[in-house]
Each structure stands twice: as C-alpha cells, then as structure tokens.
Amino acid sequence: LDILRKEIRDVTENIINQVHHRMELSKQIGELKNKMSIDINDEKAERDIRGSVLRLSKKVKMDTDFSARLLNILLMESVRLQEDQQSDAKHEQTHLAVFMKAKELEAMGKKIIHLEVGEPDFKPPKRVKHAIIRAYNHSLYHYTETRGIKRLRDAIAKKARNNITGEEVIVTPGARFALFIAFQSLLKPGDEVIGIEPAWPAYKDCANLMGAKINFLKTTLEDRWLPNTRNLRKMINPSTKMIVINYPNNPTGKLLDIRTQEQIVSIAKENGIYLLSDEVYSDYTFGGFRSILESNYDKSVMISSFSKTYAMTGFRVGFAIARNEIISKLAKVQACALTSVAEPMQYSALAALRADSASKNRLIIQKRLNLISERLKDMSLSFFEPEGGMYVYPRLNNNTNDTAIVEKLLDVGVAVAPGSGFGSSYKRFIRISACQGENVLKKGLAAFEHAMDTG
C-alpha cells in the first residue's frame, strides 16, 4: 500500500507540473492572439484537441465523459488566463453595472432617466396588495413545501396549458433562481452548454459559477437575429448537455418561428440533451408565441416569472416547468439553498394570476416600443423591430463604441445598457428598455440623439 501511495502521489505531482506547463503555454498563445487581434475562443483549435483527447481515452479505455470534462476544465482555465491578459475584456460593462453606477449618481442627487433595466414602472395588480394583507391576517407566513404551495403550482400549470400538472412545477424566487438551480442540478463541472448570443448575461455567469463551459452561437442583425440551426448542430459534442434559448429575446425582441423552434427541439432530442427555454417575456408578445412546452419534449425545462408580466420584480417569484423527475432534481438544490419561496409572496403570485393586467401591460409596452422604434428610424439607426419583449437593440452609427456612448449619456443623466453586456461581439449596440412612461422615454431618446449627433 505504501509503495502504491507513493506512486499515486508522484503521478499527481506530475499532473500538476504538466498543468502548470500547459498554463504557461496558454499565456504565450494569449499574448500572440492579443498582438494579432484575434478572438480568444477558437472553435477549431478546441475541436482538434477534443478529438485527440477522446481518441486517446478510448484507446486507453478511460471513461470518455470524464476525460472530456477534465479537458473542458483545462480549456476554461486557458480562456480565463487569456481574458485576464486582454484589458478590454476585463472592463466589460453590463446593464447591471450601469444600473449600479446610475444609482450611485442618484444618491449624490443627480436625476437619472433609467432606460437600462428591465423593470416595468407600473404597479402590480391591486389583488396582490390584498393578498399580502390576507396572508398576514390568516398567518400564511410559514415554511412551505420546497416546490411551492399546491394551489399556486396548480394555477401555474393551468395557465401553461399543454396538460401540465402541478407536479411538473417548482416555484422559485424569480426566473433567475430557476435558471441557477437548473444549471446546478442538471450539469456537472466540465459539461457544456450552448447559448445563443446576444444573451442575457446570467446564462454565462451561472455556467461559469458552477464550472460548466458555455459556448455561444452568435446571431446577427443582418440575419434578423435568427439562429442558424445548421451551425448549432455543428457545435454539439459529447460534452454538450444543454441548449438554452430565450424568446421573446432579451435584448433583441426576436421571436422564434415554429420551424426554427422545432429544429432546435430536434437537435436536443437527437442528442438526448436538455433544452432550457427562458420565457419570462412570453406575455409581451405581439405576434404568435409558442411555448417550448407545446413540443412535449421530455428533457425540456421552461422557466418564467411574475416579475415582468405583473411588474412584480421585487416579490421574487418565478417558476420552472419540466417532467416530475427533473423538477425533483431542481427541488433538491432549492431545498439546500432556501427551503421555499416566502409564503406571502406565493399567495401574492396566486392573486396576480387571477388579475387581468397582463394584456393591459402588454399594450402599454407595445406602444412604448413603437415610440422608440419610430424615434430610432428618425435617427436612421439600424435595428430589428421587436416582435416581443421589452427592449430595442439598435446599432450605433459612425463606428461609435457602446461604452463611450453609455458614459456620455450617464453624464447627462440617461442610463442605457451597453450592447457588449450581451456578448463581446456587440460593442456597436445599445439596449433601450421600454419600462418608463412615454414622456420620460422621449426625453431620454432626445438626449441619445444629441449624444450621437455630437459624436
């Protein structure tokens, strides 16, 4: 035993030395990429190295799933090292960073027009107020079942249609937490996820936090933000365990047509991988919306929320819908983290479902998006007219950089989200949110026009 223990220690030390050597090489490669101004992520180089590692592990009869995960951990570390070398990657701004900065300025007494965050300015339904008072009066303020109270789960299932039952629902503190527990319970460190860019930054953050590798299929304004499913198929490898989609999309306002949605479902099905569909904006749809639940794929996970539809961001109530076996996995992580969503908030959400404010709110947002679109047309900017969601994502003209315009606008009291917060290739875009009244929007857009005109 002692001899074997010594040998295993030597082998482990050897591995660490080799990993160190690998990191030094990565840094050298990073310096070259920086000098040559080429992208850090190189799909071909990754494919080549993955191919040779998988061939080797098959030859020595090692578990290929394990070796692929080990390789991904090394690849992610290389990307991290190379990103650290590039100064602008380090200073990437997100809409949340701008929001925090705007809040600081407000605390110093400056007036700010908030066009950066996705928080509707209207009030939650009146019924919600009564539900909170009723919850207090009836002592409904205890721990609940981790998955959420049955009445709420049943009501969510009923709204989702498609023969969904309350057993296939988990109530979470916001869609963000539903995403977090889905990643934590369905992925292992070193697994891969595919997202579609531009994308809400939480997908990348959640993947990074748990050591999963996220690869993005990029979409372009020229292609009307339509994902190329042929390229998506090519991105799948044995480590890919999940595809994440978000339609209506934040930030582009794109809706997926049924054909493309079905192609994505087929790719997930053929490879037996999870398909997570973030549908928080589904009630803000101005054409036909089709939930992923209609595809009846047994490895799909739909997440949504009360935040946007009912203007209840601070109540922190969202949910995930999936097969019972998947929901059980999500519930295990939720039980570890927070027992259950606060009971009064669950009753508030139940009351919101009985209100009829969703269609009224949709009309308000649609009208505002039209107003923004018309103003952007006056300014001759290129953008996709939103089919849903709460945002417009125009391209800046004259090679203007997003962070330059964001800083300039903050100086005059207008906060907008930099496009690169949704993917590093979108430095020439900004996101304008339709969560303020029309007069405020007009003022913010006038400041934007002035900032663009004055370079």
In the complex, the residues that contact ligand PLP under the rule CB under 6 A are 118, 174-176, 200, 246, 250, 278, 280, 305, 307, 313, 318
Q: Least distance from C-beta 424 to ligand PLP, angstroms?
A: 18
Q: At closest approach, how far in Å is the CB of 124 from ligand PLP?
A: 13
C-alpha span between 248 and 118 (Å, rounded): 13
Rank residues 82 and 291 by Cβ distance to ligand PLP and give the closer one: 291
Query: Minimum CB separation from ligand PLP for residue 448, in Å?
Result: 21
Pairwise CA distance, residues 327 & 83, whole Å: 36
Q: What is the sign of the dihedral through the CA atoms of 118, 124, 129 and 131?
A: negative
Quote the CA–CA distance of 337 and 88 in Å, as a whole number.
35
Token digits of residue 397? 């003209």
| CB of 250 vs ligand PLP, minimal distance in Å | 4
What are the CB-based long-range contacts (under 8 Å, 24+) for 83-86? 83/40, 85/27, 85/30, 85/31, 85/34, 86/30, 86/34, 86/40
Residue nearest to ligand PLP (CB): 174
Rounded CA separation 329/170 (Å): 11
Q: Provide the minimum distance between the beta carbon of 219 and ligand PLP in the complex, in angstroms, as a whole number.
A: 15
- Could you tell me the smallest distance in angstroms from the CB atom of residue 222 to ligand PLP? 23
| Closer to ligand PLP by Cβ: residue 46 or 387 | 387
**CB 449, min distance to ligand PLP, A:** 26
Question: How many Å apart are CA 120 and CA 105, to the nearest integer?
Answer: 21
Pick the closer one to ligand PLP by CB: 318 or 421: 318
Closest to ligand PLP by CB, 159 vs 450, is: 159
Closer residue to ligand PLP in complex, CB, 238/314 = 314
Biggest distance spanned by C-alpha atoms of the chain: 79
- 246 versus 361: smaller Cβ distance to ligand PLP: 246
Task: Measure the CA–CA gap between 171 and 229, rounded to whole angstroms.
Answer: 32
Compute φ and ψ for 123, nearest 5 degrees.
-90, 155
Query: 72 — alpha (psi -120 to 50), left (phi > 0) or beta?
Result: alpha
Residue pair 277/292 in contact (Cβ under 8 Å)? The answer is: yes
Between 67 and 433, name the residue whose CB sits nearer to ligand PLP.
Answer: 433
